[in-house]
Amino acid sequence: MKFSMKMTKMTSPPVVLVAGLLTIIAIGTLLLMLPAASHSGHSLYWVDALFTATSAACVTGLVVVDVNTTFTIFGEIVIMILMQLGGLGFMTMATLFALVLGRRLSLKDRLLLKEAINADSMEGIVRIIRKVMIFSFTIEGIAAVILALRWMADMPVGQALYYGLFHSVSLFNNGGFDLFGNSFIQYRGDWLFNLTASVLVISGGLGFIVLSDLFDFRRRRRLSLHSKLVLSVTGGLIALGTLVIFVFEFTNMRTLGALNLEEKLYSAVFQSVSTRSSGTSTIDITGLRQATQFFIMLLMFIGASPGSTGGGIKTTTFIIMMGAIIAMVRGRKDIVFFNYRVPKVMLMKALTIIIISLFIFILVLMLLLMTEDVQFLPLAFEAASAIGTVGLSVGVTPYLTDIGKLIISATMFIGRIGPLTIAYALRPRTDKQLYRYPEGHITIG
């Protein structure tokens, strides 16, 4: 009996998801250390290989080496595959292969999928995954063609096709990697690139449940409460981010100040979208004013939506806590969105995620302040970018010590898996509590 219980614990969905991502990172590290992956013909330093593999598999985009000048096409393809696996999730990709081979999914497989995409139940889980895969690969394919056609004017056809595919995968999966060396600064005034890239980032950050809802909208003519909240909050945060970046940086000659009005608007929108978790940029992040950097940190901490290719505490966690604050100020007992009451257990879960994430952020920042000779705000920015799996950087990451790189690597891993999933994976097995203690009263405030 004890053996059976132990096996159940070791094969629980959170443990399998953690172990699966660790396995992907380990394989990616070994592949990037191969001499064939580097232009130098020598093995990449293991810490740098581990950091790059973790950043790609956790779809972050922080780098310690320049991707284009360091890695061969083989190394870049490894990074692209890691981003695809990390973005859609290894269980989702495994389901795709199982469906192609005609294999039926077991109950355990469905439980893992439910955990992987943050679904409420297993009902229709395979159908959701099938639709999401079709939706994802279709968007990536169309965007790859559009980007390739745009870049054919700037580079050979073969290179344009390769760049289109790589950056389509990177942007949709919120991977943050680019092959230009300075992100997409040279395309800040290009409306076609800005539109295509923004659609990719937003689509990847909405989450599998929302994508499935949108896929069925023409037939059902309605959206779930979750989808309504995600779309509303995502739109609101992008609009707020655009306004703040546009106003704060309007006269900053290192960012928006030297641009014309059209380029200012494009850059403000793209940078706001990028904070959802994509990590790419069309302006110099190091040149941003401190107030803007701090605001971007807040947006990175919120991140994308549940079950998406992005990280952060998630948009629904943020809006539930905002709803709780509004309800408390108005003297109401319930949190209500679109005429639906949010269960108290959701508020407890949201509060837990925020507190754990803040604790991890503070702990990581304190460790970095001990190991790195860098000022507070730049280190805080890198830590927020790592835990939100965003990938925006103020230029600190390449100069971190080995210990600092390992700390950031662990932070990216926790940010991708999710602090609550990590906690579930590590918690001891407890029996169901059959009693409740009497209610007590505590003075607050």
pLDDT of residue 421: 67
DSSP 205: H
pLDDT above 60 for 11: no
Question: What's the mean pLDDT when you consider all of the chain?
Answer: 85
Q: What is the pLDDT of residue 17?
A: 75
pLDDT digits (tens, 9 = 90+) for 335-384: 999 988 998 888 988 898 899 999 999 999 999 999 999 999 999 999 99
**C-alpha pair distances (Å), 55 with each of 79, 174, 244, 388:** 9, 11, 28, 12
pLDDT tens digits, 115-147: 555 555 555 666 777 777 888 889 999 999 999
Distance of CA 69 to the CA centre of its chain: 25
Counting DSSP H helices and E strands in the chain, the numbers are 19, 2
Question: What does the pLDDT read at residue 143?
Answer: 95
pLDDT higher than 80, residue 309? no
Give Cβ neighbours of residue 404 (< 8 Å, ≥ 6 apart): 368, 371, 372
pLDDT at 1: 39
Distance from C-alpha of 329 to C-alpha of 118, rounded to nearest angstrom: 30
On the question of pLDDT at 53 being above 50, the answer is yes
pLDDT score, position 308: 78
Residue among 408, 345, 344 nearest 372 (CA): 408
Q: Please report which confidence band the pLDDT of residue 195 belongs to, taking 50, 70 and 90 as the band edges.
A: very high
Q: Looking at residue 304, what is its pLDDT?
A: 87
Token code pair at residue 176: 């943050």
Residue 181 has pLDDT above 60, yes or no: yes
Phi, psi of 182 (to 5 degrees): -130, 35
Report the pLDDT value the prediction gives residue 110, as an integer from 0 to 100.
Answer: 64
What would the mean pLDDT of 234-248 be, rounded to a whole number?
95
Q: What is the pLDDT of residue 3?
A: 36
pLDDT score of 200: 93
pLDDT of residue 47 exceeding 90, the answer is yes
Q: Where does the pLDDT of residue 112 fall: very low under 50, low under 70, confident under 90, or very high at 90 and above?
A: low
Number of neighbouring beta carbons within 10 Å of residue 9: 13
Least confident stretch, 146-155, 228-237, 248-257, 342-351: 342-351
The pTM for the full model equals 0.88
Let me know: does 379 contact 365? Beta carbons within 8 Å: yes
Query: What confidence tier does 102 reach under pLDDT thresholds 50, 70, 90?
Result: low
Name which of 86, 283, 76 is nearest 184 in CA terms: 283
Q: What is the CA radius of gyration of the chain?
A: 22
The answer to whether the beta carbons of residues 39 and 72 sit under 8 Å apart is yes
pLDDT at position 117: 58
> 289-294 contacts: CB < 8 A, separation 24 or more?
289/248, 289/249, 289/252, 290/377, 291/248, 292/244, 292/245, 292/248, 292/249, 292/255, 293/377, 293/381, 293/394, 294/377
Is the pLDDT reported for residue 219 higher than 50?
Answer: yes
**Predicted confidence band at 279 (pLDDT cuts at 50, 70, 90)?**
confident
Lowest average pLDDT, out of 10-19, 57-66, 255-264, goes to: 10-19
Closest CA to 397 of 386, 415, 407, 382: 382
Q: Burial of 15 by CB count in 10 Å (0-12 exposed, 13-18 middle, 19+ buried)?
A: middle
Higher-confidence residue of 277 and 313: namely 313
Distances (CA, A) of 111 to 22, 131, 152, 373, 383: 20, 18, 45, 45, 32
CA torsion angle 180 187 299 49 (round to 10) = -10
Closest CA to 383 of 312, 326, 333: 312
Residue identified by tokens 């009693």 is 435
pLDDT at residue 125 in the model: 66
User: pLDDT (tens digit, 9 = 90+) per residue, 294-304?
Assistant: 999 999 999 88
Residue 342 φ then ψ, to 5°: -85, 125
The pLDDT confidence band at residue 312, using thresholds 50, 70 and 90, is: confident
pLDDT at 398 over 80: yes
